Amino acid sequence: MELIFDHVLGKQEDQDLVICRPMAIVQPEEEDDAVEQGWLALDHDYKNKEVWYQSRSTRIDLRKYEPRFRKFEHNGKPLGMKTIEANEMVSLLGLPKIYRQYMKDKKFGADYDPFRFYHDRDRFLIFYIDSPDNIVGFTKQKYYKYQEDILTAQAQEERPTMLQGVESVIHANSIPISALSLDMELTWAQENCVSHYYLGSGYEKSSEYKASWKGFEWWTGTEWSTDKKLYKKLCRRDSRLTLFSDVENLSHL
């Protein structure tokens, strides 16, 4: 593993503060250990290489997960789901339009383009009503493989199929199905013997909902914690802080 520290900003005249992004280039044989230590793959390249990042990552332990919904329906109509490859075809399906409208409706800053980079580990789940051409939402996913499956596949020149984890990178929809579609994703992952389903970083109040599912865990930087109360407290604190002077002496310990 090659560590990279992107030093973004520092303050030393009136306070002692350093802000940097810890990243890494992870070798295939290190992948399962990296995921277990809180690393996830970024959705863009660094010098034409896939790079991983550290954060307050969140995940669902699918051994403990139980669905929240009895039926996957919207207004009495079944909600369907289908996996598609991550390539330029997603534009023809109208996914970028759904994404732009979703970000506008939520008043989120679209600070990156989920359709700019595609890696071998990327997939899209599309959600539809009535037929696959009536798409009402999507999730961009990343697949994480077990080390032994990677090595076996390399020796046999085959593509590994077993997954240590699956990550939801970004979700967008044109109708209010976010909780329902996540429940569908978790159920699908559980049925396919996936160990953990990753929900990306957990910062600010908008990330509190991730603790609503059974089996929720979050990465403290040293361990995976199941303390939902502390997680929600940290998320609310994230949103309150606006000044550098508020950040200098923070710790969740």
User: Exposure string (b/e) for 167-193, b if CB count within 10 Å is 16 or more?
Assistant: bbbbbbbbeebbebbbbbbbbebbeee
The CATH number given to 56-247 is 3.40.630.30
Beta carbons of 189 and 166 less than 8 angstroms apart: yes
Residues 228, 211 contacting (CB under 8 angstroms): yes
pLDDT band (50, 70, 90) for residue 246: low
pLDDT at 253: 43
Count CA atoms closer than 13 A to 82's CA, side-chain side. 14
More confident residue, 100 or 107: 100
pLDDT of 87 > 70? The answer is: yes
65 pLDDT band, cuts 50/70/90, is very high
- What is the mean predicted confidence (pLDDT) over 34-55? 90
- What mean pLDDT value characterizes the chain? 86
- Which pLDDT tens digit goes with each residue over 145-157? 875 444 344 444 4
Question: Is the predicted pLDDT of residue 41 greater than 90, yes or no?
Answer: yes
User: Which residues does residue 15 pair with via DSSP β-bridges, in sequence order?
Assistant: none
Phi, psi dihedral angles at 13 (to 5 degrees): -80, -45
Predicted TM-score (pTM) of the model is 0.86
